[in-house]
Amino acid sequence: MARVNGGELLVRMLENIGIKELFVLHGGHLDAILQAAHDHEFRLIDTRHEQAAAHAADGWARTTGRPGVAVCTAGPGITDAVTGVANAWLDCSPMLLIGGAAPLRDAETLPLQGGFDQVALFTPITKWAHRVTHTERIPELVAQALRIATSGRPGPVYLDIPIDVLFTPVDEEKALIPKPVQPQSAPAPAAEAVAQIIEWLLAAERPAILAGGGAWFSGAGEALLAFAERTRIPVFSNTKAHGLIPADHPLCGRGFPNLIGLGMMGIGQPDVALLLGTRVGLFTGGRSGAMIPHDARLVQIDIEAEEFGRNRDVSLGVVADCREALLALDAAATGCTWPERESWLKAVQDVREGHRLLFAEALQNEKAPIHPYQLADAIAQVVERDAIIVADGGETSFWMDVVARVHRGGHFLSHGYLGCLGTGMPFAIAAKVAHPERQVVCIVGDGSVGLNFAEFDTMARHGLPIVVVVNNDQQWGMSAHGQELLFGKDRHVATDLGPTRYDKAAEGFGCRGELVTDPADLAPALKRALAADRPTCINAMTDPSVIAPVTVAMLGLSGGEPTGESPGQTVAIPYYDNIES
């Protein structure tokens, strides 16, 4: 009777469901897994920090729509991964973190890398966290973890496997490998709800669809495009859903903030908004009504009913899988005569390109330093149509989001509700591993790049020709500009950085490096980097005085003057509703 250890059983289970890529950082607790993965010809992408491994697993999910898996060792390996898991939790991204742990038999003995409850640590930031106590149960618990991660609202899960459980051999026949992991059907909307939605959309003058992660992870791209084209309803998206409608499609409104622009143009904002797998929070205007007017009829389709009524009332809440809902809506829409709404669609097309008018002067800049809008636009102009863009940094991500032309789902990766910096390079690694044939460009602020800078080494060792563009304004841009707006230009505190040669540092890891100070040199440098056969760091020196509009908006300011604190005045605070003093 053959005997196998827990690492072999875990790897067989992952292989059984089509997972053969793991983001890891070595620790002795994991060797049973790593040796088995090597024997089964898994691809192991070993990062330089566990946070990066967790971010990469999250990034894998965002770019493929399938769960990513990270494996981290006990103790500090687990605590290092917390940020990556929390980021996936808040953005509803499916990933499995497998953690090594001290032996079960050593509980309460103060062993190496033990002495605290790793499961309890992850319980608040995962859909499910569990400790495996019997080797033969590893396959079924891995299957359960992935089923939970991908069913209903997606999210991260954590599986804690003590080293003695992993290394112990058991009879092969005692550990069955489950076959089906996922349910074969998804919840569909009720016929009455479908009929009501169609009635409201037909009568609307300015209908809009707001697509989010629920649309992407349900595989709703084709169904969304078909329904939008049949009904002539424009589609706006958050960063997780960019590309489900190609950026140059007449019905693509691009980012949610363009809904604010429509109001500013005097055209009017949506009178019926169909939220498709996106929540009502900061990125949809929250309670402000800035993106979705308070008098708009709001229809929300979500896999979780608990989202209905968050921050505002909904006219109709429908618990359903986004793809199934769109298929039902499209079937019901087939026999209807839909209005052309030419003026509404023209306004949507105008507002999505409005940034070109707003920053026209920036594009004409011919002198150093480079305007950050110029930098982002140069990337958008040079990359191929199916390139994957990763944006990391407070203001940096704003500039890239404004100009990016995304034509496929999972091809734009950026920040979410955690506001977590340092995700860019790990996300880019995951994107390149998942899509080796595609160009991958990561634009990152010089603040953000410091958080996972050693991942240049990971890129070089694993032969991942990723282009990393550092938006180097020598400061933590959003923070420094926020201080200027709140307290005055002479009040930078703990927000200044130096003219660091990130290109030279990347060369030390075996990457290419280029310093760019002149706007005219941007496009040639990018083209050289994209044609190279190894990773490249382009260190672009940008203008530190340029304040991104998102920073002003996040402070609730309109004029850019420092705020006062005298009685009766509104006191602005970073990122949240201002205080009435």
Does pLDDT of 566 surpass 60? Answer: no
- Domain locations in the chain? 3-174, 191-352, 354-554
The neighbouring-strand residues paired with 44 are 22
Burial bucket for residue 352 (CB in 10 Å: 0-12, 13-18, 19+): buried
The secondary structure of the chain in percent helix, strand, coil, rounded to multiples of 5, reads 40, 15, 40
Backbone torsion region of residue 266, taken as left when φ is above 0, otherwise alpha when ψ lies between -120 and 50, otherwise beta: left
**What's the pLDDT band for 559 if we cut at 50, 70, 90?**
very low
pLDDT surpassing 60 at residue 108: yes
Residue 23's closest CA among 294, 426, 300?
Answer: 426
Architecture of domain 354-554: 3-Layer(aba) Sandwich (3.40)
Q: Is 188 exposed, middle or buried (0-12, 13-18, 19+ CB in 10 A)?
A: middle
Do 354-554 and 3-174 have the same topology in CATH? yes
pLDDT greater at residue 549 or residue 266: 549
- Could you give the CA distance from residue 9 to residue 14 in angstroms, rounded to a whole number? 9
pLDDT (tens digit per residue) in 171-205: 988 888 888 667 778 999 999 999 999 999 999 99
Handedness of CA 82, 86, 88, 92 (dihedral sign): positive
pLDDT at 558 over 60: no
Band of pLDDT at residue 264, cut at 50, 70 and 90 = confident
User: Regarding beta strands 3-4 and 170-171, do their DSSP bridges make them parallel or antiparallel, or are they unpaired?
Assistant: antiparallel
Predicted local distance difference test score (pLDDT) of residue 563? 47
pTM comes to 0.96
How does pLDDT run across 408-430, given as a tens digit for each residue? 999 999 999 999 999 999 999 99
What are the tens digits of pLDDT across the range 203-226?
999 999 999 999 999 999 999 999
- Give domain 3-174's CATH superfamily: Thiamin diphosphate (ThDP)-binding fold, Pyr/PP domains (3.40.50.970)
- The predicted-structure confidence for 277-301, as pLDDT tens digits, reads as follows 999 998 999 998 889 999 999 999 9
Residue 370 to residues 240, 256, 381, 387, 443, Cα–Cα distance (Å): 29, 27, 16, 23, 14
CATH class of the 191-352 domain in this structure? alpha beta
Question: CA 465 → CA 64, 179, 443, 468, 562, distances in Å?
Answer: 19, 36, 14, 10, 44
In the chain, what percentage of residues exceed pLDDT 70? 97
Chain centroid offset of residue 479 CA: 21
The span from the CA of 556 to the CA of 145, in Å, is 42
**pLDDT tens, position by position, 9-57:** 999 999 999 999 999 999 999 999 999 999 999 999 999 999 999 999 9
Q: What is the mean pLDDT of the chain?
A: 94
The pLDDT tens digits for 445-482 are 999 999 999 999 999 999 999 999 999 999 999 999 99
Say what the pLDDT of residue 372 is: 98
pLDDT of 510 > 80? The answer is yes
Confidence at residue 125, expressed as pLDDT on a 0 to 100 scale: 98
Question: What is the C-alpha separation between 76 and 276, in angstroms, rounded?
Answer: 39
Residues labelled catalytic? 29, 50, 113, 419
Higher pLDDT pick, 558 / 448:
448
